[in-house]
Amino acid sequence: MLEPKPLRGKTALVTGGAVRLGAMSARFLHAAGAHVVIHYRNSFTAAEALREELEAQRPRSATLVRGDLLDFGALPRFVERCLAATGRLDILLNNASNYFPTPLETVTEAQWESLFGVNAKAPFFLSREAAPHLRERHGCIVNMVDIHAERPNPGYPVYSMAKAANAMMVKALARELAPEVRVNGVAPGAILWPEGAEGKQSKAQALPRIPLGRAGAPEQIARTVLFLATTDYITGQIIAVDGGRSIQQ
């Protein structure tokens, strides 16, 4: 018996889709039948490898689009790429993120602009560009939020504030785009860490504060993205996939 493909014939745009959580989410959306448009900035090698991987499973089922999310004039081109590939856009996954520390004593305006630009401004204006096409298809937007939108991460105040704006975007756009378009979010907890000593230290600090006592996996995030892309009676909600970290003291 063939496995059902709930997204067969649909098109999904995934920002930051070449690596990490974006790449895993693209794989899950593709496995459910979607044509995946993978946005990347500098990760061409990873993006091309992912495209080849997906098209080996189903020919002509993945498309690449390159662009800097801080170049707001380029955002319409991302949507145009989807329309050129398949003539439609059904799912927008605002996954791309910028993450680095901004100690209060040394934070700069340029750091503020970068963090708010990638985590809040670009997803908002890309959603605006996509909205007419999503309305036409009764599609959906999924934002990759963060548990630190509600629990500020020490040393990362600007990132935490930008993700808080991203979280409010989910609720605000759910109101603005209803009833045709559903807007939801996923808030990952301890899933992936930076490479090197910093990542090992962050992991050692995080694990004891997770009620389930273990880190999560990218597949768990991608599975939640797919759920929100396929359910039809949930909007304005953010699902924390964090092993209970957001309820811990």
Residue 154 CB contacts under 8 Å (≥ 6 apart), including other chains: none
pLDDT per position as a tens digit, 100-123: 999 999 999 999 999 999 999 999
What is d(CA 41, CA 51) in angstroms, rounded to the nearest whole number? 15
User: What is the mean predicted confidence (pLDDT) over 159-164?
Assistant: 98
Q: Which CATH superfamily is domain 11-240 in?
A: NAD(P)-binding Rossmann-like Domain (3.40.50.720)
Residues assigned a catalytic role? 159
Give the per-residue pLDDT at 1: 40
**pTM score of the predicted model:** 0.94
User: What is the mean predicted confidence (pLDDT) over 134-150?
Assistant: 97
pLDDT per position as a tens digit, 54-64: 999 999 999 99
pLDDT per position as a tens digit, 3-19: 679 999 999 999 999 99
pLDDT per position as a tens digit, 189-238: 888 766 665 556 666 677 788 899 888 999 999 999 999 999 999 999 99
Give the per-residue pLDDT at 204: 65
Judge contact between 244 and 212, C-beta under 8 A. yes
Give the per-residue pLDDT at 209: 83
Which residues pair with residue 177 across a beta bridge? none
Across the chain, mean pLDDT equals 94
Out of 3-12, 177-186, 239-248, the most confident range is 177-186
% of the chain surpassing 70 pLDDT: 94
Classify 155 in phi/psi space as left (phi over 0), alpha (psi -120 to 50) or beta: left
Give the per-residue pLDDT at 249: 63
User: What is the mean predicted confidence (pLDDT) over 68-96?
Assistant: 97
On the question of pLDDT at 155 being above 50, the answer is yes
Cβ atoms within 10 Å of 211's Cβ, excluding its own: 11
Nearest residue to 191 (alpha-carbon basis) of 248, 245, 247, 242: 242
Residue 212 CB contacts under 8 Å (≥ 6 apart), including other chains: 243, 244
